[in-house]
Structure formats: C-alpha cells, structure tokens
A and B are shown apart, each in its own frame.
Chain A
Amino acid sequence: MKIKLAYSLSLAASAFLFISSVTCIIFQPDLTYISILWGATLAGSTLLIALSALTKRQLNLASKTGVVLALDLFFILAIFLLIFTGTISPKFEIRTPLGIGATFGYRLILSALVLAASIVATKDTINLFYDSSSKSREALVFLTIRLTAVFSVLILGGILFIIIYKGIWALSWEFLTEPPRKLGTEGGISTAIIGSLWMVLGAMIFSAPLGIGAAIYLIEYSKNLWLNRLITIAVSCINGVPSVIFGLFGVAFLINFFGISLLSGSIVLGLINIPIVILTTQEALKSVPNSLREGSMALGATKWQTIKKVVLPSSMPGILTGLIISVAKASGETAPIMWTAVTFTATPVQMIYGVIPNVFQPVNNLDYHLLNLIYFLGAWDVEKNAWGTALVLVGLVLFTNMLAIVVRNYYRKKISW
C-alpha cells in the first residue's frame, strides 16, 4: 500500500513537471519562483524513485535495467543540482552555438531540461511499477501515444479557437457588406466574398460535368484496362501537382486568351478540382450494386438510360459529397489565382443584365485579400480586419466541409441495398 502511494506521488510529481515545463516553453514567463518549486519536486521525485527502487531491489548495477535506472537518477539529480547551485541563473545563455543564428536563453534551457527530467522520471516510475516487463513497455508507449493525441487535438483545437476568438470582434454587418476602403484598413470585405463565390461557382461549372463524365466513363463504359490505368495515373498526378504550378500554367496559357479575369481563375480552379470530383464519383458509382443495373437492362433500357435513371440517382449522395468537398478546396486556394484572376483593388463584380457576371473582369477574392492584408501588417493597422477575413474564410470552408460530412452520414444511414 505504501509503495503504491510512492508511485502515485512520483507520477504526480512528473506530471506536474511535464505540464509546467511545457507551459513555460510555450508562454516563457518569469521563472524565479517556479524554478524553486521545480528544484524541490525534482529532489522529491529522485528520492521517491530511488527509495522504491531500493525496496524492490532494482538498483542492481549488474543488470542493464539497473544501470539505466542509475544513470536516469544521476541525470535528474544533476538537473536539480544545476538549479540548486544557481549554475543556470537568469544570466545563463548559449549564444549562437556553432554559428547558428539563434540564442538559447535561460528560460528555454531550464524549461527544456526540466521537461527532459520529467520524461525520464515518468519512464522510471512506470518501469518500476511493472518491474520492467513487456507490460511496462506497453504502458509507456500507450501513454506516449495518448499524450500525442491530446497534444495534436490541443494544437488543432487551439488553431480553431484562436481564429474564432480573435476574428469574432472584427465581424459586423458593415464588415460583411461593404467594400474595403483605404487599402483594407477600413471598410469590409464584400467584394472579396462575392468574388470568391463567383469564382468557386465557375470552377464547379467546369469541373463537375467533366469530372462526373470521366468517372462514369471509367466505371460504366471503359473496357480498355490500359486506358483506364493511364487515366487513373493522370488523375492522381493532377491531384498531386502543387497549386502554384497551376498558377504558372494559367500564366503561360490562359492569360493569353482571357487576360486576368474571373474566367481564367475559374478554369484554373476547375482543373484543380477535377481529380477530387473524379475520385469521389468513382467511389460512389462503385458502391451501386450491379443487380440494379442488370434489372434496368432487363426491362429494355439502354445503357445511358440505365445510368441516367438508375445509377446516377442512387449514387447522388456520394457525388454530392465530392462536389461539396471540392467547393471547399477551391475556396481555399490562393497560389493558382494570384496571377490569373485577382487584383486587390477590384471593383464589385459587374453584372450583365443583372444576372450573369462579366467573366472578363478581374475580381477580388477572400484568400488574396487576406494575403494582401498580411503583407500590410507591419505598415498599416490591418490586423483586426485580417483576423475577420481569416474567420470568414475558415468559416466558409469549414461550413462547406461540415455540410459534406452531414450529407454523407445522413444518406449512409438512409440507403441500404
């Protein structure tokens, strides 16, 4: 019973050291008080581990685990002594070691050392608890994996949190409905929002028919395995082509015909989207059972009638999900449209007959607007508007993605063959 208490105390001490040192690495506060606490905790956990090792007779220098344990204890004790004797004082720093352009200050070094000590202490405690068996290894690895999972959730959640927390203050009705004034320091982002929407719509008009058509051909018609393989490779290559390359392609090819315009941007974004539409539509078509096709054919329908009336309607949810995902992807791209479609000072989209936009005019776009605000950050007071733009952009993309997930889950429950 007493031994169990020692283990839990030791674990608690290492947990405290771990959490506090990570926090200190991130926020870099003044370490005068906490370093005393760290010293005491380090000494305490050294004592606890040494005592429990002695009671369990594990501190046996003849075995490998005993040597490792002794070295670990020595390491923790050394860090304790460094703090206690004041070797690592606020004046301590390592300036540009090996010619590297960085200085490692007192706060960073101390926190990092304590972090290392806490990891070592945790390892030893768990090893002692399970007597260094395969079970202790399992516990250690699973602890690491769980910690990593928590860490990544914290990072990714933190990203969302900070965008919402900072951006929410910039949002207002005026921000969403007015065009930017004075290089984005005042006014809103209405031109950017509308430009983004039209451009994404244009991209879908290009990519949806081409992508769905290609997928139908690949799944329903093509008998030529060689051609199928070639198209599949081409699709996965286009999927991997960096977006900036599409921008170069637009500059070298599309600009010659359409100039810097909504049309060029839509075509480039459409090309980027084609692989996603093809891949998701293929998956959706594959999931339609053959019995449906055979039933329709048996009733005398032609191949195209079968596809139009039977296969497409039953694979619609999957296709729809793919289209929504590609909308989200298209609205998050900056590099491909930078030189093909957008200008920062674009006027609101002009309409022909009030319905169709003039496709030969440059427009503004949320991504490009944000990029320009980032460039202006040092010079003008645009930070608030930049956060607002980032929130609108992320909100738009995440909302679209969430819509895709909801559609998929809804129909997955509903359709059963």
Chain B
Amino acid sequence: MELPKPKSMGLQRRYGEKIVESVLFISAITSIIIMLMIFYFLFQEGVKAFAKVGIINLIMGQMWHPQSDIYGMMPLIINSLLITSMALVINICIGFPLAVYLSELAGPREKDFLKPAIELLAGVPSIVYGFLGVIILVKYLQESFDMLTGRSLIAGSILLGIMFIPSMTTICEDALRSVPSEFKQGSIALGANKWQTIRHITIPAASSGITAAVLLNVGQIMGETMAVLLVVGNVPSIPTPFFNIFETGATFTSVIAGEMGEVSRGSLHFQALFAAGLILLLAVTILNVVADQIRARIRKKFGGY
C-alpha cells in the first residue's frame, strides 16, 4: 500500500500555517511596541522641557505657575505623596479587613452576594466618583470643617481611598486564599484559635501577595485622574504647614488633565506637562514591574491561584 506523499499536504496548507503564525506573532509583540511608543512620545516632548528648564530646576522647583511660565514639580510631588499615602491608609484600613472577612469569616451565602457586588463596584467609572465627590464629599467637608472651600487634599484622599477598596480587597483576598489550607489546619490542630491562626500563619504567608496588592494600588491611586481633578481644587502649591491637608492642591494627574486642554502645542507649558507625565509614567511603571515580580514569585512558591 502506498502512503500519500507528504507533499500532498499541500504547499498552501503549510504556508497558511506560517502566515497565521507570523500574524499572531505580530499581534503578540504589539504590546511591546505600544509600551515603547508611549515612552518614546512622552520622552520626546518631555525632554524638551527638561532641556529648557533644567532637570534639577524642573523637579525641585518650588513653584508651578503656568501664567508666568515657571515650572517646578515640587508642589506636585509633595501633594501627590500626601494624597497617595493618606488614600492608601484609608484604603488598607477598610479594604484589608474586608478581604480577611471574605476569605476567612464569611459563609458561602455572604460570599456569593459580596464578591460579585464588589466586582461590580470596581467598574463604577471614576468620573462618577468625582461627581459624587463634588456633590456630597466636598460639600460635607466644607460645612463640617468650616473651610474656605471643601476642595482639598483630604477630599481627594478620602475619595481615592474609597474608590480603590474593591481592587485592594480582590487582590488581598486572592493572596489570602492562595495560602494552602494545610498551614491553617496545622495551626488549628496545635490549639491556636482562629484569629491566632490568621494573625500568625495566614497573613505572614500571604504577605508578599499583600505587598503586591499594596504596590499595585499605590500605582492606581497615583494614576487616577478624573476623580482627583474634580475634588482637589487643582491649585499647585506646597501646603503650609506641610501637613495641612485641608488646603487645595494638585497632583500630577490633575495638573495634566486640568491644563492640557488649554495649552498651545509646542509651548513650554505643553512640554512641561509631558515632563510631568513622563515622571508619573516612570514611577508607576517601576511600581508595576516590582509588583509583577512579586506575584510571579508567589506563583512559583505556592503553585498559582
């Protein structure tokens, strides 16, 4: 009996396979190309501002005053750090216990209700949070603290802290759940109660996942734009005294979003905004890469979740 020759498989079929593979390869490397292009275009515009103002002047400058063409990012850096750290505290204080509740205490019925609800809320657009912040939070702060204007750093941090509860909870819960149940059973068998087990076994074992969650959330909080833009007042100034969180402020994102619409292309202001964007992009990318490495390490350690 004669076997069909391999050639009868057809040139067309073999080349078809090759073509498909190369098309897929191109779409796979698109993401690398996109990332490089984003860096390239931000760098291309931003570097002009660094060249004109000077790297140290632009980063360490004490004043951001577009009207007189003075650009220094120190106010933005300080405001961003203040808002991010306070928002993170609020976020962790609510998001982490919620994650512990979901992974350790909640019964199946509560879980079935809470988990989809939290996933849904993660999808509420940031502009809607900004709207609620303007209508409710800013008004509340203005009246109850008798402030000149409710738009302030604290309004921004409360809003951001609440906004990212779902993402914090989801990642922390994943980390807590990925701890093998043998660990917990061993601890319980030794006579520890449930809280001692959580405190001394589950949380330490999940600590790298929780760290990754915190880093990712820092990146998200720093990068959030619309909600911050609407509630911080968008006045870039260094607060006096430096812990005065009841003052108006401006973060990297809010300055870019608030001022980009009205600058002319190619002006120093335009380039300075790109420089601010470049610094933000670098900070967030470093955070993301570190968080990603941590998560990859956990996956190796516990066999994935």
Contact = CB atoms under 8 A, between A and B. Distances in A.
B126 interface: yes
A247 B288 CA distance: 20
A401 B118 CA distance: 11
A231 B277 contact: no
A240 B116 CA distance: 23
B131 A234 contact: no
B21 interface: yes
Contact of B128 (A28, A329, A393): A393
Interface in A235-269: 235-249, 251-253
A11 interface: no
Given A148-B97, A244-B256, A371 B16 contact: no
Interface residues of B, number: 101
Contact of A156 (B29, B44, B121): B121
A243 to B, nearest CB: 6
B109 interface: no
B281 interface: yes
Q: What's the dominant secondary structure at chain A's contact region?
A: helix
Contact of A374 (B31, B134, B219, B243): B134
A275 interface: yes
Interface residues of A, number: 97
A394 B125 contact: yes
Contacts of B224: 242
Residue of A100, A232, A394 ringed by the most chain B CB atoms within 10 A: A100
A98 B240 CA distance: 10
A221 B25 CA distance: 9
Contacts of A137: 195
A98 B242 CA distance: 11
A264 B300 CA distance: 40
Interface string A317-333: 00000000100110111
B277 A138 contact: no
A172 B142 CA distance: 33
Interface stretch (B55-63, B70-78, B145-153, B181-189): B145-153
A5 to B, nearest CB: 27
Contact of B116 (A211, A304, A339, A405): A405
Contacts of B230: 374
Contacts of A354: none
Contacts of B274: 248, 252
B101 interface: yes
Nearest to A25: B144
B131 A242 contact: no
A213 B105 CA distance: 41
A79 interface: no
Given A304-B20, A334-B226, A240 B165 contact: no
Interface of A: 28, 98-105, 107-108, 134-135, 137-138, 141-142, 144-146, 148-149, 151-153, 155-156, 159-160, 162-163, 209-211, 213-214, 216-218, 221-222, 230-249, 251-253, 271, 274-275, 278, 302-304, 325, 328-329, 331-335, 338-339, 367, 370-371, 374, 377, 383, 386, 390, 393-394, 397-398, 400-402, 405
21 contacts: A101-B244, A134-B193, A138-B196, A145-B101, A145-B105, A149-B97, A152-B165, A153-B114, A156-B117, A214-B30, A217-B24, A230-B32, A233-B292, A240-B216, A240-B288, A245-B280, A274-B31, A328-B123, A339-B261, A377-B135, A386-B131
